[in-house]
Chain A
Amino acid sequence: MERKMTFTQIMWVFSLVVLLITIAYPLFMLIYKSLFGEKGFGYAYKVIVSDPNTWVYALNTIKLAVIVTFFAILIGVPLAFFVVRTDLPGRKIVRFLAVLPFILPPYVSAIAWIQLGAPYVGYINRIWRALGNSGNLVNIYSFTGLVLVMTLKFYVYVFLTVAAALEQMDPSLEEAARMSGAHPFKVARDVTIPLVMPSIASGALLAFVATCANFGIPALIGDRAHYYVLTTRIYSTLSIPDLDKATAYSILLVIITGVALLIQKKSFGEKRYTTLTGKTVRPSVIALGKHKGLIALFVFIFLALTSVIPLFSLFFSAFLKNLYSPLTSLSSFTLNNFKFVLVQDETTTTALRTSIFSALLASTVVTLFGALLAYMIVKTNVKGRLFMDWLSSVPYALPGTVVGVAIILAFIKTPIFNTLWIIPFAYFVRYLSYGVRTTVGSLLQIDKTLEEASLMCGANWLTTMRNIVLPLIKPGLIAAWILVFMPTLSELTVSIIIYPPNHPTIGVATYNLMEEGQYTAAYALSAVVAVVVILAQLVVSRITGKMGARGL
């Protein structure tokens, strides 16, 4: 027993030191630097507050997020309802197609939509002119385009949270309403929707925060529409370079997402809805009756337009020699774009190596350290374990751009900065909470008596860990590993802030190809990313048994 205490204490000190250095210190630096910059106390704030553009960026961010959230609810709630609670045909496919755009990195989705909706060269406009019209039918580089791409990406948050709530809902309340003669849709409106309100709210909050925090979509689509938001502004301010101003913008972005979180907590956090009983209940399925065919057709057309066609056009374009070459001639198609990004181009091949290495290292360290933290949080009662729990989750609640800025401030003078190692390090900071949360879940399921029994039988603590605990949480560890590996492999938002010049990541390389106008190469690289991510997602869903359990 005494040995265990010592070991726990060592690990306690170790974890606390790691968390303070990797998370608390960069956050402190961010706040400190925004207040005390090179030009004295409060200067950065004075500058941004007196710059009318600041309020434009802040309001643009909020306006975009509110509108996207509104449409996300409008699409996500009914779709979840149809999938979970009705006899809609092909529900499994619907679920897969709805989650598909979500599992792709946001910049890949943006690139796919640019293919379709770019003025003049987008396929929609090419078809439009081929039909004898002139000019452009659609322009993806517009506020509407921005809302469209972001909504179709982030509605999945609402869809997944509401679907989960509907699945676990105790059907007896609805049955009671139906027994008293209410029409199925009246039941939905008066009973079901109010019961899933908290889930809608948390899905909406996630969509709101994701929209505020996203960089790839506004950078690729919004910039051309003169629609600038805080994340794109932080990035370009860093290019001036003006670190003080960038930190002040970062704090502003944190305040916006923080306020949204507070509003959601105040409105729904305290209420308790005892609908999630934990019993395995099969919610009653509503027959769609004569509308069934029509609704199914509508849902499938929607998903084809939003999920299948953009991806298809991305792959199609990846084989084009030039975007201006005629689509009717076979000589317009080539495999060279793939050869270029996978073999020839030094930048993209370096990026592939950098990203694979960084994702492997980050996901392994996050899984190991996350498991250690989770063990202390769940199985011990050491002091400050809740503080550690909270601290490890802060970077995930912050926009990636802000985490990137904080890491620059804290580590710019250390030898690790401007080397390859800063990338997995930053991913560790950003994604640590994945490792902690996933393992906490697994550990909670292990009854204390199992460990106690082992210890009573004379096994020491390490043996108990190896023989009892580790095998039981193994699926959780594997899930944590893949859940970190996938998003880090194609990460853009943090990478673009911190990447060393010789080590771009896949996300950065794709973004740069787009910005340099090497479009067909960018499409090929995006197509490669899409294939890898979809394959990885299939593996995850095998292990976790759930589609789309993925963050940003």
Chain B
Amino acid sequence: MKKLFVALLIFVLAFSVVGSGCVEKKETSTTTATSTPSETTSSPASTQTATAKEISGTIHFYTSIPKDIAVKIAEEFQKKYPNVKVEVYRSGASKVMAKLDAEIEAGKIIADVVWLADPGNTIYLKKKGVLMKYTPKDADKVPAFAKDPEGYWIAGRFIAPVIAYNTEIVKNPPKKWSDLTDPNYRASLPSPWNTAEGWVAIPNPLYSGAATAWVYGLSEKYGWDYFKKAKEMGIVVLKSNGAVKSAVIEGQDPIGVTLDYMVRQAIADGAPINYVYPEDGTVLIPSPIAILKTTENPDAAKAFVDFLLSKEVQELLVQYGLIPARTDVAPPQGTPGISEIPQIQIDWEKLSAQLEDVRNKFSEIMLG
């Protein structure tokens, strides 16, 4: 009897060892939700009092920006601040949020700085009361619509839904969103796309925050009728912006709605794809940066956010095809500046409050 229990115990222990081998590296940080300084606002000047050498410790940077850029930024920062270690956790926005949510639930937030794709998740974090107010050094270089009026977040870049098209198939690219619901426009495409289902692909707002913003923007401008027509016209819904980009490149769906920087990267890779910023305006999505108020290392976190908005990093983003948040940094070659892109302005706080309704409505119309 005893033997059996011993055997069972050994078995369980053996598996916990195997198990922990698979679990991600245990965090050594002792951050707790309660031991935080109740710091709320601080002027940019306060971070400047500490010199680069004096700031030390580890900051956990959670982001959904492309991995190579995130790693590059962390490296550059560590060169400037040799005593700070930046741990990057990079994944899709919804996965980063799921991880953060779990940390909040557990009362042990590890993240110090987050930089996600669209304001939706950041506003959710703000409402949860886990963000710190902070106005970075160069905040005045970022347009007003791209920062939280109360100072909880600020955009670090812009992404925009655009109309992408396969250059080998589409010789007469669409110019505006309304072309995608226009039978005459579809008729101008070569066969079989002039009649086919799936001549246009769009990303699914159930999975993509950027797509949710786009759907919301268009429903505000053209009403939900736009999507009813889209359904009738045989527009297909794919899961992600990346999937739409690939489908357009391959020609499965010769036209698609996807994010501008993805298309620019694909063009740089030599793929047969191009895009337009639609004349009737797109939703310019500010990608917010925020500091968690539970951070144990507020000085390093602030220095890092200042660095993200520095000219140096903003120019680096441009090299990767991203639109910078600063108006004094030139956009990627061949792209209009943010003031020249026609815009559909949306109220991010309002969208955040109606998120479920927007998704349900879309699902009801497009996914039936």
Which A residues touch B247, using CB under 8 A? 517
CA distance A135 to B91 in the complex (A): 38
Contact of B23 among A119, A228, A420, A514 (CB under 8 A): A420
**CB pair A515 B238 closer than 8 Å:** yes
The interface size of chain B toward A, counting residues with CB under 8 Å, comes to 48
Contact of A516 among B243, B249, B359 (CB under 8 A): B243
The residue of chain B having its C-beta at the shortest distance from the C-beta of A135 within the complex is: B192
In chain B, positions 5-64 with a C-beta closer than 8 Å to chain A are 15, 18-19, 21-24
Which A residues touch B272, using CB under 8 A? 324
**CB pair A53 B368 closer than 8 Å:** yes
Assess A120 versus B251: contact at CB under 8 Å? Given A225-B197, A516-B240: yes
Assess A240 versus B356: contact at CB under 8 Å? Given A324-B271, A515-B240: yes
**CB pair A360 B18 closer than 8 Å:** yes
CA distance A462 to B3 in the complex (A): 10
Which B residues touch A213, using CB under 8 A? none
Q: A524 in the interface, Cβ–Cβ < 8 Å?
A: no
**CB pair A240 B363 closer than 8 Å:** yes
- 1/0 per residue A127-144: CB within 8 Å of B? 000000011100001000
Which B residues touch A322, using CB under 8 A? 249, 271
Q: A451 in the interface, Cβ–Cβ < 8 Å?
A: no
Which A residues touch B144, using CB under 8 A? none
Name the distance in Å between B41's Cβ and chain A's nearest Cβ: 32
Contact of A515 among B4, B96, B239 (CB under 8 A): B239
Assess A224 versus B238: contact at CB under 8 Å? Given A501-B91, A517-B245: yes
CA distance A173 to B76 in the complex (A): 83
**CB pair A501 B245 closer than 8 Å:** no
In chain A, positions 346-364 with a C-beta closer than 8 Å to chain B are 347, 350, 353-354, 357, 360-361, 364
The residue of chain A having its C-beta at the shortest distance from the C-beta of B240 within the complex is: A516
CA distance A239 to B205 in the complex (A): 10
Which A residues touch B360, using CB under 8 A? 240, 242
The residue of chain B having its C-beta at the shortest distance from the C-beta of A347 within the complex is: B91
CA distance A419 to B16 in the complex (A): 13
**CB pair B367 A517 closer than 8 Å:** no
Which B residues touch A120, using CB under 8 A? 250-252
CA distance A519 to B242 in the complex (A): 10
CA distance A141 to B234 in the complex (A): 13
Which B residues touch A478, using CB under 8 A? none
The residue of chain A having its C-beta at the shortest distance from the C-beta of B366 within the complex is: A226
CA distance A218 to B65 in the complex (A): 31
Q: B219 in the interface, Cβ–Cβ < 8 Å?
A: no
Name the distance in Å between A418's Cβ and chain B's nearest Cβ: 5
The residue of chain B having its C-beta at the shortest distance from the C-beta of A228 within the complex is: B367
**CB pair B368 A228 closer than 8 Å:** yes
Name the distance in Å between B65's Cβ and chain A's nearest Cβ: 15
**CB pair A242 B240 closer than 8 Å:** no
Q: B171 in the interface, Cβ–Cβ < 8 Å?
A: no
Name the distance in Å between A283's Cβ and chain B's nearest Cβ: 46
Assess A223 versus B95: contact at CB under 8 Å? Given A236-B367, A361-B15, A502-B24: no
Which B residues touch A515, using CB under 8 A? 207, 238-240, 243
**CB pair B99 A501 closer than 8 Å:** yes
In chain B, positions 74-120 with a C-beta closer than 8 Å to chain A are 91, 95-96, 98-99, 102
Q: A421 in the interface, Cβ–Cβ < 8 Å?
A: yes
Which B residues touch A421, using CB under 8 A? 19
Assess A236 versus B240: contact at CB under 8 Å? Given A353-B22, A354-B22, A502-B24: no
**CB pair B22 A420 closer than 8 Å:** yes
Contact of B251 among A52, A134, A324 (CB under 8 A): A324
Which B residues touch A51, using CB under 8 A? 364
Which A residues touch B246, using CB under 8 A? 323, 517-519
Q: B346 in the interface, Cβ–Cβ < 8 Å?
A: no
The residue of chain B having its C-beta at the shortest distance from the C-beta of A239 within the complex is: B206
Which A residues touch B196, using CB under 8 A? 119
CA distance A419 to B23 in the complex (A): 8
Which A residues touch B99, using CB under 8 A? 501-502
- 1/0 per residue B292-321: CB within 8 Å of A? 000000000000000000000000000000
Q: How large is the interface on A (under 10, 10 to 19, 20 to 34, 35 or more residues)?
A: 35 or more
**CB pair A236 B197 closer than 8 Å:** no
The residue of chain A having its C-beta at the shortest distance from the C-beta of B4 within the complex is: A462
**CB pair A224 B198 closer than 8 Å:** yes
Q: A387 in the interface, Cβ–Cβ < 8 Å?
A: no
Assess A239 versus B236: contact at CB under 8 Å? Given A134-B191, A141-B198, A324-B251: no
CA distance A190 to B239 in the complex (A): 52
- 1/0 per residue B269-306: CB within 8 Å of A? 00110000000000000000000000000000000000
Name the distance in Å between B205's Cβ and chain A's nearest Cβ: 10
Q: A252 in the interface, Cβ–Cβ < 8 Å?
A: no
Q: A187 in the interface, Cβ–Cβ < 8 Å?
A: no
Which residue, B15, B21, B239, has most C-beta atoms of chain A within 10 A? B239
Q: B160 in the interface, Cβ–Cβ < 8 Å?
A: no
Which B residues touch A135, using CB under 8 A? 191-192
The residue of chain A having its C-beta at the shortest distance from the C-beta of B20 within the complex is: A420
The residue of chain B having its C-beta at the shortest distance from the C-beta of A57 within the complex is: B368
Name the distance in Å between A331's Cβ and chain B's nearest Cβ: 13
The residue of chain A having its C-beta at the shortest distance from the C-beta of B236 within the complex is: A224
Assess A420 versus B363: contact at CB under 8 Å? Given A120-B250, A239-B207, A517-B240: no
CA distance A519 to B249 in the complex (A): 12
Q: A285 in the interface, Cβ–Cβ < 8 Å?
A: no
Assess A501 versus B356: contact at CB under 8 Å? Given A225-B197, A236-B367, A515-B243: no
Assess A7 versus B271: contact at CB under 8 Å? Given A240-B356, A501-B95: no
The residue of chain B having its C-beta at the shortest distance from the C-beta of A56 within the complex is: B368
Q: A118 in the interface, Cβ–Cβ < 8 Å?
A: yes
Contact of B98 among A324, A350, A420, A501 (CB under 8 A): A501
The residue of chain A having its C-beta at the shortest distance from the C-beta of B251 within the complex is: A120
Which B residues touch A501, using CB under 8 A? 91, 95-96, 98-99, 102
Which A residues touch B367, using CB under 8 A? 53, 228, 236
CA distance A224 to B246 in the complex (A): 14
CA distance A239 to B99 in the complex (A): 15
Which A residues touch B239, using CB under 8 A? 515-516
CA distance A236 to B359 in the complex (A): 10
The 7 closest A-B pairs by CB, nearest first: A517-B246, A517-B243, A515-B239, A501-B98, A120-B251, A53-B368, A516-B242
Could you name 20 residue pairs across A and B whose Cβ atoms are closer than 8 Å? Answer: A53-B367, A119-B252, A136-B192, A228-B367, A236-B363, A236-B367, A239-B206, A323-B250, A354-B22, A357-B18, A357-B22, A360-B18, A361-B18, A420-B22, A501-B98, A502-B99, A515-B207, A515-B243, A516-B243, A517-B243
Q: Point out residues on A near B: beta carbons under 8 Å.
A: 7, 51-53, 56, 118-121, 134-136, 141, 223-226, 228, 236, 239-240, 242, 322-324, 347, 350, 353-354, 357, 360-361, 364, 418-421, 462, 500-503, 514-519
With A223-B237, A501-B99 already in contact, 6 other A-B pairs whose C-beta atoms are closer than 8 Å:
A121-B250, A121-B251, A141-B236, A228-B368, A353-B22, A502-B99
Q: Point out residues on B near A: beta carbons under 8 Å.
A: 1, 4, 15, 18-19, 21-24, 91, 95-96, 98-99, 102, 190-192, 196-198, 204, 206-207, 236-240, 242-247, 249-252, 271-272, 356, 359-360, 363-364, 367-368
